[in-house]
Structure 1
Amino acid sequence: MSRILTSVADLWIGRYAKPNPAAWVQVQALAPAVVVTGASRGIGRALAHRFARAGRDIVLIARVREALDVAARDIARDTGVSVHSVALDVTDQDAPHRLDAALREAGVYADVLVNNAGIGLAGLFADHSQEDLERLIAINITAATRLMRHALAPMLARGRGGILNVGSLGGLVPGPHQAAYYATKAYLISLTEAVAHEVRGRGVRIAIVAPGPVETSFHGAMGAEAALYRTIIPSLTADAVARSAYRGFQVGRTVIIPGVLPSVGALGVKLLPHAITVPLVGRLLALPRPAEQHDAR
C-alpha cells in the first residue's frame, strides 16, 4: 500500500514538471543520494538510517569526523547501501560548494536533502550572549536556508528531488524561555510551507517534520533538561520521528507532526489564542530558579 501511495504522490508532485535534459547530463555519471546534515546522532542519524532501509545511498554531514564515520559504518552494516561521510561545518559560507565537490568525489548527487543540523538555546532571551544568538541563527536559519536554496534549483531543473527540513512543534507558537530557538523553527516552518506552494507540481517534494520532545541529547545540550516539559510531556524516540517523517515525506505531506499527542497539541495552538498558549508554553519551558534547583538536591 505504501508503494502505491508513493507512486500516486509522485504523479501528483510531478504533474507540471518539465525536466531540462542538460540538467540530467550534468549528473548522468553520478548516483542519486540522500544527503543528511547533522547526521552523526539523534534525529539526523535515524532519518539517514530510515532512508537507507529503503535502499537509498546516503551521505552523512556533520562537523566531527569520528562520530560520522561510526554512524556511516553502522548504517552501511545494517542496510547494505553505500554510505559516505563528509566532515563539514554547514555554517561556512562556502559550505554548499564544498559539499558539491565532496559529492562529486563520492560519485553521487543530492537527490534528497535532509536539513537536520540545528541547535537549541534555553533560558531568558536577555541573558543570552550575542555570540550564542548569532550561532543559533547561523545554524538554524542561515545555513538551512542557504543549503535549501542551493539544492532546490538543480532539483527543479531535473524535475525531481526532495527537501525535508527538520523543525519543531515549538515553531507553531512563541516559546518564552526558548524564545529565539522557537522563533528559528517558526521561520523554518513558514519558509517550507511557502516554498512548497511556489514549486507545487514541479516534481520536488518540500516538507518539514515538526516533532515535539524527542528522547535525544538535544534538550540537555541546550540546557533545558530541568524544564517542566521534560517531566510531564512524553518523548518520542528518534526512530519513531524518522519513521513518521519518512512516511509523510513519501506521500507528499508538507508539515509532518509525529505522534498523536503532538498532533493534538498542534491543533490546540492553532485554535487557542496566544493569550492562553504563550503563558502555558512559558510555564512548561521555564527553568527552575537556582534556589529551587538547590532545594531539589
Structure 2
Amino acid sequence: MRPLSLGNATPVLSTCRHLLPALLVVGSLVAEEPKKETPIQDNSFLVEEAYNQEAGVVQHISTFTRYQESKDWIYTFTQEWPVFSQKHQFSFTLPWQRLGTSLDGKQAFGDVALNYRYQLVGDGDAPVAISPRFSVLLPTGDEKTGYGKGSTGYQVNLPVSFTLGSAFVGHFNAGATRTPNAKNPLGDSATTQDVFFGQSFIWLAHPRFNVMLEYVYARNQAVNGPNQTQAQSATYLSPGIRWAYNLPSGLQIVPGIAVPIGVGVSRGEKAVFLYVSFEHPFLKGK
C-alpha cells in the first residue's frame, strides 16, 4: 500500500460544499439540550460496524454512490434480520449499478450477497464488539457485460467496534473474497482473490447526530485471460455526517451523506455517497 497523500486542499473545500446543506438541516439537533437517549449505532457507510441486530428488530438500508470522474454509480439495498437472538444475524444485499467499463453502458443488476454474522464478543453496550461475517456472492450479474463475476464467490470479514471515551467510536474491518472460476466478458476464467481494509472514527456530537471519517483500501483482481488476473487498488478517505429521527412507533430513520475522496493510487477521483436506513421492531413488545 502506498503512503496516503491528500494533495492540495481543493478536494476538502469541495467536500464542505457537498456537506453544507445537510449540516444546516441537522444543526438544530446539536443546538438542543442533550437528552438521555441511546446514541446512533447504525452502520458506518463504507466500514462495517460489529453490532448485530437486536432480537425482534429489522433494518432496511439503501445506499447510492456516484463517482465524479468515471460517472459510475451503484445503488444497494440491504436487509438485516436477527436469527432468534442477537448472536446470529442474516442479511442480503442487492446491487443495481451503471459502470462505464460495462460493454453495453447500461444499468444492470449485479451479484447478490447472502451474509451470516455471529456476535462473538460484546454488543452495542460493550466497549469492544466483534462480529465475524461469512458471505456467499451469487453470480446473478451478467459477466458478459461486465456486471458480474460469472461464478459463486466467498467472502469473510472481521468487523471490530470499540469505544474511545464517551464521545468517540471506532470501527475496524479486514476481509477477503475468493471467487473460483471467475469469468470476464470474453469467457476466460481464473480464480480471483480480493482483500480490503477499513477504519472509521465517529464523533458522537449528539445522540442523534454523528460526524464521521472513514478510510478504506481495496485490492481487487479481474480476469484478463485464461488463468490470468490483473490487480487494481483503490484508496479513499471519506468524511461524512448522519442524523436520526426516532418516532414514537419505534421506527428510527437515519439519513446520511459522505464525500469519498480518492487518495494515493485513487487520487483525483471523488464521489458522493447517500445513505438512509429504516429500523423498526417486527415483533410485538419490542
Q: TM-score, normalised by structure 2?
A: 0.30
Q: TM-score, normalised by structure 1?
A: 0.29
Q: Which has the higher strand share?
A: 2
Higher relative contact order (CA 8 A, sep 6+): 1
